[in-house]
Copies of this chain bind each other. A is one copy, B any other.
Amino acid sequence: MRMAGARRHTLRDIAATLNLSVNTVSRALSGKDGIGEETRARVRAEAERVGYVPNSMARSLVLGSAMTFGLAITNPSNPFYAQLISTIETRARSHGYSLLLTVTEESEEHEMRAAESLLRSSVSGSIVVPVQSGTEAWRRLGSVGVPTVLINRDLPDLGYRFVGTDNELGGYRATSHAIERGARSIVVLEEDLPITTIDHRIAGFRRAMAEAGLPVPRGSIMRVPTRRHEQAALPWQPQQAYQVARRMLRRTRLPDAVVAGNDYFALGLYRALEEHGLKVPDDMMVIGFGDHPFSAFLSPPLTTVRLPAEEIGTIAVDLLLEEISGTPIARPLKQLIAPTLVERGSTQRS
């Protein structure tokens, strides 16, 4: 590699060989008018010939914006975020924007650095999954005029635009579904992390139980110790959920259904149940969250709440685009997308 640096051609090079001014070449290539058709053709031909590629740095410097969106994600190995990355990159690119990705690993320290990095890079806008409740990192971005939309987890204090899943509704639907299928006693298995998504799901669970007149005794909410900080490059691990589930199975009265915070937890639960000789769904129903690609193929197939990753990513990019173009935005400041329940075998009693 390092091919003896065949230096990149610049506008000046083209101008020189064509005996034109840099300015003319610039305007010819950028499609502006006020230029002779013939000149334009000559410039284009020469640019093509030497393989001219504009220098974004220079362009950004003078324009003040880099035609780049920043994306701050906690963990790309979480399938939900992976799909978000994919959607956002594709949509951003289709509008001419590149994507600068920063991984925050659920650490507020990384988050600070990420925000600073995006600031340095003069991103035209940024899409952020905040780590937790800390607002400091992202406040700066907004205060220097970088349009910023939060996704998945809101930071209400900032007053930024937000697009996320209606987790309360998700929790409600999952729980109601279990109740409809005959569950009276339900346990929730959630990661032990102080973030709004989880709180909302639990709130939805409580609402469904209350509406059905069912009690929510102590121990109904079980927490799976988080390992995100140690294993930020990995998705959730079923292992911890498995262990928590085993603890649950030592109880004298077992629940009829378990609503898991994500499909990996459901997977850990499946094993614990199997080892315990319990059948899903006849002995216990299981509902997951996320509709991960494996879930439809588990045995039994997992009923789960599908999260609107694509929709969230698309809206986030569109919001940025609208804000940048100055279009008045009709959408609400906070936008919650309803997740859909995917009914499968794990709640289908025969």
| Residue interface mask A53-90, B partner, CB < 8 A = 1 | 11111101100001010000001110100110111011
Closest to A103 in B: B89
A270 at the interface (CB under 8 A from B): yes
Inter-chain contact A86/B61, CB cutoff 8 Å: no
A233 at the interface (CB under 8 A from B): yes
| Nearest-Cβ distance from residue A76 to partner chain B, whole angstroms | 5
Inter-chain contact A297/B323, CB cutoff 8 Å: no
Q: Interface with B: A37-45, A115-123, A174-182, A218-226, which one?
A: A115-123
Residues of B within 8 A of A198 (CB): none
Expressed in whole angstroms, the Cα–Cα distance for A121 and B100 within the complex equals 11
Partner of A144, one of B7, B103, B161, B238: B7
A276 at the interface (CB under 8 A from B): no
Inter-chain contact B1/A160, CB cutoff 8 Å: yes
Q: How many residues of A contact B (CB 8 A)?
A: 77
Inter-chain contact A264/B238, CB cutoff 8 Å: no
Inter-chain contact A57/B53, CB cutoff 8 Å: no
Expressed in whole angstroms, the Cα–Cα distance for A196 and B55 within the complex equals 34
A98 at the interface (CB under 8 A from B): yes
Residues of B within 8 A of A268 (CB): 297
Known interface pairs A76-B89, A238-B294; 5 further A-B residue pairs with C-beta atoms within 8 A, sorted by A's residue number:
A1-B160, A3-B144, A57-B57, A85-B101, A85-B103
Closest to A309 in B: B233
Residues of B within 8 A of A252 (CB): none
| Residue interface mask A227-266, B partner, CB < 8 A = 1 | 0000011111110001000000000000000000000100
A299 at the interface (CB under 8 A from B): yes
Expressed in whole angstroms, the Cα–Cα distance for A310 and B77 within the complex equals 12
Inter-chain contact B145/A267, CB cutoff 8 Å: no
Expressed in whole angstroms, the Cα–Cα distance for A58 and B121 within the complex equals 10
| Nearest-Cβ distance from residue A156 to partner chain B, whole angstroms | 14
* Copies, count: 2
| Residue interface mask A132-165, B partner, CB < 8 A = 1 | 0000000010111101100000000000110000
Closest to A60 in B: B57
Residues of B within 8 A of A293 (CB): 77, 234-238, 264
Closest to A97 in B: B117
Residues of B within 8 A of A75 (CB): 86
A111 at the interface (CB under 8 A from B): no
Inter-chain contact A79/B235, CB cutoff 8 Å: yes
With known contacts A102-B98, A142-B1, A299-B271, A122–B57 Cβ distance under 8 A: yes
Expressed in whole angstroms, the Cα–Cα distance for A350 and B271 within the complex equals 19
Residues of B within 8 A of A121 (CB): 56-57, 98
Residues of B within 8 A of A7 (CB): 144-145
Closest to A324 in B: B2
Inter-chain contact B51/A140, CB cutoff 8 Å: yes
Expressed in whole angstroms, the Cα–Cα distance for A264 and B142 within the complex equals 42
Residues of B within 8 A of A1 (CB): 142, 147-148, 160-161, 323
